Amino acid sequence: MTNKLTEYKVNDVIDLNVLIKQSDLRVAKNGKNFLSLVFEDASGTISGKYWDAKETDAQTFGVGKVVHLTGKKELYQNSPQVKIASLDAVDEALIDKSQFVKTAPMTKDEMEKEFNEIFFEITNPVWNRVVRNLIQKHEDIFFTHPAAKSNHHDFEGGLAYHTLSMVRLAKSISSQYPEINKELLIAGAMIHDFGKTVELSGSIGTEYTLEGNLLGHIVIIDEEIVLIAKELGIDDSDENLILLRHMVLSHHGLLEYGSPERPKILEAEILHTIDELDASINMITKALDNTQKGNFSERIFGLDNRSFYKY
């Protein structure tokens, strides 16, 4: 019997325990309720619809629940989905939920070791102290959190891995263009998404927290920077501190994408660009991993619903 979600091929019968990653109670055109579900195991995800759902089903099959799924794998508009035959609750006392969660390709210790080495490349005392203190203050959660609920790096350790990928890109680009302030770019990359440790609930059944919904990770991390600077005795009018805050505040690039300011220094523009680059590569790679050669991938919401060809 196949043991992983992504090992099933179209028309195969899926029969295994899975974790519910997303669960939304909706109303069909006929007026009946259904659950729009995303199932997950350590290999990846697949969506499915549970028809004629009762309101009690929304609790039984809620986010973070482990269930036994049987059904047929199909394709709908190039996207894999499961036609659910049965869905049964599982005794979670007998289950280790962590076995259903995809993890970063590097261990926590490996990433932490590389981060500790990067600290020495930031010699500016303001940037070094702020970045080092932020990461050390929330070390455990930073290295286990996802970077998103469903788009890019949405797995355990995804936040640290995405950050590390961006730091590597920052170092590489800086070696090509000596006019870049490498230290500022690295410092900005290291903490740009740090607010997601508060914005998102965790790697199992990831949801947006109240602070995440009402404030967002950009505002959250900017506030953290100010508080850390105050604790360290750094004047809030220090230009180095303002530059670092601008890196974080502008990294989404556009006001309509959540940035209070657009990038207004070279390093901020580059940070925004490499953030989009790393996120896009991860989203495309994830989609192509579930696509057979000679076919187009499922539509990727975070990339304007485009599909990508696997050759």
Closest C-alpha among 118, 234, 244 to residue 192? 244
Interior/surface letters 90-114, b for 16+ CB within 10 angstroms, e for the rest: eeeeeeeeeebbbbbebebeebbee
43-88 per-position pLDDT tens digit: 888 999 999 998 889 889 999 899 999 999 998 877 789 999 999 9
Mean pLDDT of 131-155: 91
Task: Give the number of C-alpha atoms closer than 13 A to the C-alpha of residue 281, restricted to the C-beta side.
Answer: 9
**Non-local CB neighbours of 15 within 8 Å, separated by 6+ positions:** 1, 69, 70
d(CA 157, CA 107): 8
Selected residue with higher pLDDT from 54 and 222: 222
Task: Tell me the whole-structure pTM to 2 decimals.
Answer: 0.88
183: pLDDT strictly greater than 70: yes
* pLDDT score at 227: 96
User: Which residues are bridge partners to 89 per DSSP?
Assistant: 67
d(CA 233, CA 167): 27
d(CA 16, CA 68): 6
Two structure tokens written together for 69: 């799924």
Mean pLDDT of 87-94: 88
User: Which residues are bridge partners to 156 per DSSP?
Assistant: 103
Please report the sign of the dihedral spanned by the C-alpha atoms of residue 80, residue 81, residue 82, residue 88.
Answer: positive
- Is residue 40 within 8 A of residue 5, CB to CB? The reply is yes
Q: Kindly indicate the confidence band of residue 126, based on its pLDDT and cuts at 50, 70 and 90.
A: very high
214: pLDDT strictly greater than 90: yes
Mean pLDDT of 115-120: 94
* pLDDT score at 265: 98
* pLDDT score at 44: 86
- Is residue 89 within 8 A of residue 67, CB to CB? The reply is yes
Q: Kindly indicate the confidence band of residue 192, based on its pLDDT and cuts at 50, 70 and 90.
A: very high
* pLDDT score at 2: 57
d(CA 259, CA 74): 39
For the chain, the straight-line distance linking the first and the last C-alpha, in angstroms and rounded, comes to 29
- Is residue 251 within 8 A of residue 260, CB to CB? The reply is no
3: pLDDT strictly greater than 80: no
221: pLDDT strictly greater than 80: yes
* pLDDT score at 109: 94
Which structural domains are found in the chain, ordered by start? 5-99 (2.40.50.140), 103-286 (1.10.3210)
Query: Residue for token digits 């499961």?
Result: 82
d(CA 61, CA 49): 12
Any idea which of 10-19, 21-30, 76-85, 302-311 has the lowest mean pLDDT?
Answer: 76-85
Two structure tokens written together for 61: 């099959």
273: pLDDT strictly greater than 80: yes
